[in-house]
């Protein structure tokens, strides 16, 4: 039997099929929980926040355009919830003015050595991601752990694609600097 | 692993349970359509308010001749800066910021760097402002008549439009020409060389004193009927001109 797409399941939910929503949750719970654990520096209330993400997704499911991809839509809800959680905790600085998306940037393209790069970086990032500034942390998580494309990350964060590229570049450079400072001569880069 | 699975199942089960019990309800489609319409109407209202404010700014600048002041040097620049309708200018900037924030909600805006949508808004505002200011829209709203030039002989005895000093009511009174003490726009009615008399929009006759210090950056080839802007301090019905320039009204 052919597996249903997220979008076709979402369409069933929009039509009132509650059980279909359970199927969507089954597909996304693990991903959203991983995203939350890496993004939020206080993992104690992750379960409540993830639950809130799914509640909001259900309440607003009729705003989802089934002609588009479901994944960026639900990740966008998760992003909003996580940012709100960080604002409430006031443990991290979230800047409202960011010149990264004010001016155009030359597009940073994905390269052929990306797979090797990705695996290495994923391993290193795991230990340092919590120490990264929020604006770099999020695209790094979405790219290296959630395996999203630049375009999908741009849809989640509502940023120009070129800004996503520049943040990934700067995030990687910052990570390299931090790792080199903490482990001189053995950064793994 | 088992614990994790149990935890996941509990989130899912809790939400499905809450949905079935009616505790969590799906918002109807019309809710989102209504919200989108409301947002679009909000954007349109802010855009109209912005274009109106911008055109009013251009209208005031043109009416009062403030924009000419900087050509008379540093003193002219000071007069220009102190005479600018700053409140209106701040209002225009605030509307631009609000419109930019509202427009960023649309994917066509956030997919591009902020500078693009800002420049697009500025172009629309500037073009809209200049176009509307060029129409009789503000003149009619403000009851501000154009300069009444001296009538040619054939008009003597004919029906003459009513005269009055009602230039500026409501917002136009607060933001308009009356607050500019060092800038005087009017039409030349007669010469008593080297001085001349102008009639302003309030139908006042002002004697313009032309001295050796008076700056005339665009020449002194004035005639009766020419619209001019005079920069200088007014004392009674006399103005010692610091600078004079002809303007196109």
Question: What does the pLDDT read at residue B96?
Answer: 95
| Prediction pTM value | 0.77
| 8 Å CB contact of B28 and A62 | yes
| 8 Å CB contact of A62 and B16 | no
Q: Which residues in B lie closer than 8 A to residue A63 (C-beta atoms)?
A: 27, 32
Residue A61, pLDDT > 90, answer yes
Residue of B nearest to A14 (CA): B26
In the numeric block, which tokens belong to residue A164? 């996503």
Residue B146, pLDDT > 60, answer no
Domain B182-246 coded CATH 3.40.50.300? no
Q: Which residues in A lie closer than 8 A to residue B31 (C-beta atoms)?
A: 62
Q: Given A22, A61, A102, which is nearest B12 (Cβ)?
A: A22
- CA A41 – CA A48 distance, rounded (Å): 15
For the beta carbon of residue B159, count every other beta carbon within 10 angstroms.
6
Residue B172, pLDDT > 80, answer no
Residue ranges of chain A whose CB lies within 8 Å of a chain B CB: 14, 16, 18-19, 21-22, 25-26, 29-30, 33, 47, 50-51, 54-55, 58-63, 101-105, 154, 158-163
pLDDT level of residue A59 (50, 70, 90 thresholds): very high
Distance of CA A122 to the CA centre of its chain: 14
3-class DSSP assignment, residue B2? helix
| 8 Å CB contact of B12 and A161 | no
Which residues, in sequence order, are CB contacts of B13 under 8 Å at separation 6+?
Answer: none
Chain A CB within 8 Å of residue B15 CB = yes
Give φ, ψ of B147 to 5 degrees: -55, 135
For residue A170, what is the enclosing H or E element?
A: helix A161-182
Residue A88 exposure: Cα atoms within 13 Å on the Cβ side: 10
Give φ, ψ of B78 to 5 degrees: -65, -45
pLDDT digits (tens, 9 = 90+) for B107-134: 999 998 889 999 999 999 999 988 888 8
The domains of chain B are located at 29-142, 182-246
Question: What does the pLDDT read at residue A79?
Answer: 95
For residue B23, what is the enclosing H or E element?
A: none
Distance of CA B207 to the CA centre of its chain: 30
Is the preceding omega at residue B194 within 30 degrees of 0, hence cis? yes
Which residues, in sequence order, are CB contacts of B147 under 8 Å at separation 6+?
Answer: B186, B187, B199, B201, B227, B249
Residue B178, pLDDT > 80, answer no
Question: What does the pLDDT read at residue A186?
Answer: 55
Question: What does the pLDDT read at residue B165?
Answer: 40
């Amino acid at each position: 039997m052919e597996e249903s797409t997220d979008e076709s399941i979402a369409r069933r939910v929009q039509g009132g099929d509650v059980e279909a929503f359970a199927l969507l949750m089954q597909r996304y719970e693990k991903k959203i929980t991983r995203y939350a654990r890496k993004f939020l520096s206080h993992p104690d209330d992750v379960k409540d926040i993830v639950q809130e993400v799914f509640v909001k997704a259900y309440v607003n499911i009729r705003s989802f355009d089934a002609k588009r991809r479901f994944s960026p839509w639900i990740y966008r809800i998760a992003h909003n919830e996580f940012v709100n959680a960080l604002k409430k905790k006031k443990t991290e600085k979230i800047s409202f003015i960011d010149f990264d998306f004010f001016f155009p940037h030359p597009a940073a393209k994905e390269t052929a050595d990306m797979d090797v790069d990705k695996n290495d970086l994923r391993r290193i990032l795991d230990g340092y991601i919590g120490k990264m500034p929020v604006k770099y942390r999020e695209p790094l998580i979405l790219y290296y752990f959630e395996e999203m494309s630049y375009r999908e990350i741009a849809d989640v964060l509502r940023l120009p694609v070129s800004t996503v590229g520049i943040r990934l570049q700067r995030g990687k450079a910052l990570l390299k600097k931090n790792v080199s400072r903490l482990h001189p001569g053995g950064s793994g880069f | 692993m088992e614990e994790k699975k149990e935890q996941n199942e509990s989130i899912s089960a809790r939400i499905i349970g809450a949905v079935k019990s009616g505790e969590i309800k799906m918002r109807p489609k019309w809710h989102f359509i209504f919200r989108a319409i409301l947002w679009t109407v909000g954007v349109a209202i802010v855009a109209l308010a912005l274009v109106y404010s911008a055109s009013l700014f251009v209208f005031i600048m043109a009416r009062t001749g403030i924009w000419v002041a900087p050509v008379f040097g540093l003193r002219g620049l000071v007069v220009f800066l102190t005479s600018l309708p700053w409140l209106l200018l701040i209002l225009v900037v605030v509307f631009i910021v609000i419109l930019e924030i509202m427009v960023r909600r649309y994917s066509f805006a956030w997919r591009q760097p902020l500078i693009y949508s800002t420049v697009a808004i500025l172009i629309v505002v500037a073009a809209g402002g200049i176009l509307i200011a060029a129409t009789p829209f503000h003149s009619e709203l403000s009851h501000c008549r154009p300069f009444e030039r001296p009538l040619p002989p054939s008009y003597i005895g004919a029906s003459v439009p009513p005269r009055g000093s009602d230039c500026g009511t409501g917002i136009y009174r607060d933001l308009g020409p009356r607050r500019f003490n060092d800038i005087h726009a009017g039409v030349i009615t007669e010469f008593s060389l080297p001085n001349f008399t102008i009639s302003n929009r309030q139908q006042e006759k002002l004697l313009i004193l032309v001295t050796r210090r008076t700056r005339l950056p665009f020449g002194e080839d004035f005639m009766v009927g020419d619209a001019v802007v005079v920069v200088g301090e007014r004392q009674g019905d006399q103005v010692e001109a610091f600078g004079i320039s002809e303007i196109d009204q």
